[in-house]
Amino acid sequence: MVAILPLAGVVAAALTGETAAIPARDIARYAATSAVLAALVAVATGALGSLAAWLVVMHRFPGRDIFAWALALPLAAPAFAVAYAYADLFDVAGDLRMWMRAALGFDLPFEMRTIPGAAFVLTCAFYPYVYLAMRAAFVNQSAHALEAARALGCTPAQAFLRVAMPLARPALAAGVALAVMETLADYGAVQFLSVQTLTTGVVRAWFVFGSLTSAAQFALPLLGAAALLLWIERWGRGGRGYESANARWRPLPVTTLSRPAGLMAGLFCLTLITLGLLLPAAWLVIAFLPVSPDWPRLIEAGGNSLTLAAAGAVVTVALATALALGAARVPHLARLASLGYATPGAVMAIGLLVPAAFVWRLAPGAAQGFGAGLIMLIYAYAARLMAAALEPIDAGLSRVTPSMVQAARTLGRSPSGAAWSVQLPIARGALLTAGLVVFIDILKELPATLILRPFNFDTLAVIADNYARDERLAQAGWPALLIVLIALPAVIWLTRKIAASRPGAPA
Amino acid sequence: MSETVALTAQGVSKAYGSRTAVAAADLTLRRGKITCLLGPSGCGKSTLLRLIAGLEVPDTGEIEADGRRLSWAGGAVAPEDRGIGLVFQDYALFPHMTALQNVAFGLRKLPGRQRRDRAQAMLEAVQLGTRGGAWPHALSGGEQQRVALARALARAPQILLLDEPFSGLDAHLKGEVRLSLTEALRAAGATVLVVTHDAREALLMADDLVLMHGGRIIQAGAPRACYLDPVSPDAARLLGEVNLIPGQVRAGLAHTPFGTVPATSCADGPAVVMVRPEGLRLAEAGAPAHVAQVRFGGGYHEVQLKADGQQAHAHVAGAVPETGQTVTVRIAPDLARVFPAEA
């Protein structure tokens, strides 16, 4: 229900409104941009993420144990922050290019404010999704299959291409689908780089034309794409049938790389982390830290971001837990909830405005005002992030065998008492993981917050976007950096935990 | 309900979809006695146990304890309100609690201090008094089982159910565990139902034995009576190795290639003679049989015999024949039964 209501709202608004709101030709142009961008990001994240995961899982080289978790750190940086940094760094009139033209006599042959530029930025920001999915697939693969391939005459490289990659294809599909979902959902980065995707169309239609119908018409193809991606991602998960679940876990045959090759591998991983996090963060610090920010506004927005992210995390985890505990009885509910995850935040927000408008008309004043706005916002977060929270919680609860719950029943606990005293404590770590995932995503979220936030309620992401849109990029640096700083400890905790987990070891 | 009966189940059935797990089962548990429910895997014995525990609701029939109706067609008192303890096959210890906390889990009604003392006393009763602080994963299989037993017994349930208590244990541990388990159960004076597929363990533990096959209860009684006087070939097979030899009944005697047995209650015609391997004996006089194979089996030799196209095997202690030899055999009447041939 939580996820479906806004989605139904989008469809209703798009189909029932006046038809001539936006010419179909315009929507097609925006959609084509989105498609090209998504394709570029898919190929780039797929190649880089897979290679990094293969290097880290199957080889020994300097820094490998750190790279194993550090490669996921760019998840702490919102895509728009990466966009600000690169746009400024490679600005045609910026210091770097001025210096290059003067000192070296040539100019770099690219421009950030183009589709390839946006693809570069989004690849830097989203490759960790592919990396994490592929790493999990490689870590869980059967050592026997690889050894059998070697025994049948494959070189390590051939074993990778002919056995490991085909076995990991479902994970690749799932990881790339996630990266593409995020690409389609991104607003802050592409907006700043002046690339007109469907999501920018949704937000602009709402703010510039004030038309729910137009926004919904931009949203409709996104919704279709979301359903397709979700199907691909599910198919990827379904492919776990390849794995031999009961095969005893043995250490994978790890190759120690020679010194030059090891240095190359380390350099490759370092480059990914640098491009995704270190360079943009450093540039934001160098370029914008000297600028004195509007402190009261920044502090208030920081407080709002923290409060909203924490409240959203608590609500989402609570709902997801209830869903997970009840899922044994109604299995397709969870399937429905995950549709929300594939849906861009802007689409979710527009969809929520439809039933909200209905309520306003029924009872003017009832659903208005500050509190109602916040509730709608948290509702949108919960609907969008439900599936992301559900996944770790499900995994955590699967450690509780049915007989443990039944044992609690025969020892005098009611069904809810058994959930409270046995299931939840055992899944405690998973609940924390789910909460942090939601927390980080809400911190970075922009379009839904822009559309649904109460009047004069700013978050860090919102004021960064406001400054950036007003061409006051220097002021946007601070809030963007603050988001990275707040998200980084949570991301480090999560990625270290993921990197430490191995089959055969207690989770 | 009489003083000596702790629980009765009458006409209890349970089906999952089109598959009938338990069909019209009648069962009586005597107070303070150990009843073993024996059957092959998939025969519905675990389902019957779960029905008694209240984890499943019967389709038909009633379960009653101490004059209180616990389950009826389509309904049941919740498991937490039945006063029936259950030790699970995988023990189902809570991994986030120590052994002592596990045992104290069901004692919520007691105040903190008493609760801990009672849990500690229960652990001591199963010889684990010093292991209270250990986490379940740090305990051996046998220790885990004893913690699970102490946990279930701590609430002083009127009836205790044990699901396959020996399945998770190494073979050499089974005997030891069975002895200490039986001792603990007798000491607690509990009414106990043990579900198992292990005939030997069931015979050694049970006061009352209940045999289940294909969702039905086919025989109930003292272990010795069930072993010596099975009601059918199925019942005979459940309790151990058995030879089923086709034969003919004529005038109160069943004739087989391996000898004759009295068959007073059988009409003339084709029959099946059931004889335990230790009931097929080498003798001075009797039917001639060919020794097809001899295998050393520890306390006895297993001898494959052929006569008149039929096969049977005997457990032979003492003088051992050689392969290829012809011997004379007879059937010990007290270890044999005659059934009419199945249609």
pLDDT number for residue B304: 93
Binning pLDDT at 50, 70 and 90, where does residue A242 land?
A: very low
Query: A411, A413, A414: best mutation site toward chain B, by most B Cβ within 10 Å?
Result: A411
- CB-count burial class (<10 Å; 0-12, 13-18, 19+) for A284: buried
Cross-chain Cβ contact B92/A412 below 8 Å: no
Residue A505's pLDDT is what? 36
pLDDT for the residue A437: 87
Among chain B residues, CA nearest to A403:
B92
Q: Check if B88 contacts A (Cβ < 8 Å).
A: yes
A149-153, A305-309, B179-183, B251-255: the lowest-pLDDT one: A149-153
Closest alpha carbon within chain B to A413: B80
Residue A506 has a pLDDT of 35
Residue A366 has pLDDT above 60, yes or no: no
Structure tokens at A111: 């421009």
Residue among B86, B98, B115 with most chain A CBs within 10 A, to mutate: B86
Q: What is the tens place of the pLDDT at every residue in A277-310? A: 999 999 888 887 788 888 888 899 999 999 999 9
Which of B314, B259, B319 lies closest to B291 in space, CA to CA?
Answer: B314
Q: Which chain B residues have a beta carbon less than 8 Å from that of A504?
A: none
**B89 — contact with chain A (CB < 8 Å)?**
yes
Rounded Cα distance between B35 and B32, Å, is: 10
pLDDT of residue A338: 67
Please name which of B234, B200, B229, B193 lies closest in space to residue B217, comparing C-alpha atoms: B234
* Mean pLDDT value of segment A487-502: 79
B141-154 and A402-410 helices, crossing angle to 10°: 30
**Would the pLDDT of B314 be above 70?**
yes
* pLDDT score at A133: 86
Is B155 within 8 Å of A413 when comparing Cβ atoms? Answer: no
Cα dihedral sign, A165-A166-A171-A174: positive
Give residue-wise pLDDT tens across range A411-456: 999 988 999 999 999 888 889 888 998 999 999 999 889 888 887 8
Section B200-213 average pLDDT: 93
* Chain B nearest-CA residue for A399: B95
Q: Mean pLDDT lowest for which of A77-91, A327-341, B54-68?
A: A327-341
Q: Which residue has the higher pLDDT, A326 or B156?
A: B156
Contact residues for A125 (Cβ-Cβ < 8 A; gap 6+): A74, A77, A78, A79, A82, A182, A189, A276
- Inform me whether the pLDDT recorded for A71 exceeds 60: yes
Question: What's the gap between Cα A290 and its chain centre?
Answer: 31
B53 and A410 within 8 Å at the Cβ level: the answer is yes
B96–A425 CB contact, under 8 Å: yes
pLDDT over threshold 60, residue B203: yes
CA distance B47 to chain A (A): 13
A409 contacts B78? CB cut-off 8 A: yes
CB-based contact (8 Å) between B152 and chain A? yes
A404 interaction partners in chain B (CB closer than 8 Å): 92-94
Contact A409 B88 (CB under 8 A): no
CB contact under 8 A, A408 and B53: no
Contacts of A385 (CB under 8 A, 6+ apart): A312, A316, A340, A341, A437, A438, A441, A442
What integer pLDDT is reported at residue B221 of this predicted model?
Answer: 94
State the DSSP H helix or E strand holding residue B192, giving kind and residue range, or none if neither. strand B191-196
Whether chain B has a CB inside 8 Å of the CB on A398: the answer is: no
Give residue B264's pLDDT. Answer: 80
pLDDT at residue A4 is higher than 80: no
A258 vs B: CB within 8 A: no
Among the listed residues B232, B206, B236, B233, the one whose alpha carbon sits nearest the alpha carbon of residue B221: B206
| pLDDT at position A241 over 50 | no
* 3-class SS of residue A451: helix
Q: Is the pLDDT of residue B142 over 70?
A: yes
Confidence of residue B35 (pLDDT cuts 50, 70, 90): very high
The mean pLDDT of A473-477, rounded to a whole number, is: 85
Q: What is the pLDDT of residue A27?
A: 85
Chain A contact set for B104 (CB, 8 A): none
Q: What is the pLDDT of residues A17-61, one digit of tens each?
A: 655 556 778 888 999 999 999 999 999 999 999 999 999 988 899
Q: Tell me: pLDDT of A93 over 90.
A: no
Instruction: Determine how many CB atoms are found less than 10 A away from the CB of residue A147.
Output: 15
What the block records as the tokens of A364 is: 């003017």
Q: Could you give the ipTM of this predicted complex? A: 0.79
Angle at B6 between CA B4 and CA B9, to 5 degrees: 120
Interface contact flag, A407 B108, Cβ < 8 Å: no
Band of the pLDDT at A468, cuts 50, 70, 90?
confident
Model confidence at A168: pLDDT above 90: no
pLDDT of residue A360 exceeding 80 = no
Mutate to test the interface with A, among B55, B70, B82, B94 (most CBs of A within 10 A): B94
Q: Average pLDDT, stretch B304-309?
A: 91
Q: Cα separation of A385 and A25, whole Å?
A: 32
A496 has a pLDDT exceeding 50: yes
CA distance B272 to chain A (A): 43
> What is the reported pLDDT for B37?
96
Alpha helices of chain B — where are they, by DSSP H? Answer: 45-53, 99-104, 112-125, 141-154, 171-188, 199-205, 223-228, 233-238
Residue B272: strand pairing partners = B246, B339
Per-residue pLDDT tens digits for B62-112: 999 988 999 999 999 999 999 899 999 989 999 889 999 999 999 988 898
CB A40 within 8 A of CB A180: no
Q: Confirm or reject contact between B55 and chain A (CB < 8 A).
A: yes
Contact between chains at A404 and B86 (C-beta distance less than 8 A): no
Say whether pLDDT at B211 is over 90. Answer: yes
Model pLDDT, residue A504: 36
For residue A488, is pLDDT > 70? Answer: yes
pLDDT at residue A397 is higher than 50: yes
pLDDT band at A244 (very low <50, low <70, confident <90, very high): very low
In angstroms, the Cα distances linking A479 to A79, A188, A263, A465, B118 are: 13, 13, 36, 9, 58
Task: Read off the pLDDT of each residue in B202-229 and give the average, rounded to a whole number.
Answer: 93
Whether the CB of A98 is below 8 Å from some CB of chain B: the reply is no
| Tokens of residue A234, six digits | 């599910």
Average pLDDT of A335-363? 75
| Alpha carbon of B343: minimum distance to chain A alpha carbons (Å) | 43
Rounded to the nearest integer, the mean pLDDT of chain A is 83
- The answer to whether residues B113 and B121 touch, using CB atoms and an 8 Å cutoff, is no
pLDDT grade for A330, boundaries at 50, 70 and 90: low
Instruction: Choose between B177 and B336: higher pLDDT.
Output: B336
CB contact under 8 A, B53 and A411: no
pLDDT confidence bin for B10, thresholds 50/70/90: very high
Inspect the interface and report whether the beta carbons of A410 and B95 lie closer than 8 Å. no
Q: Which amino acid is at B281?
A: R
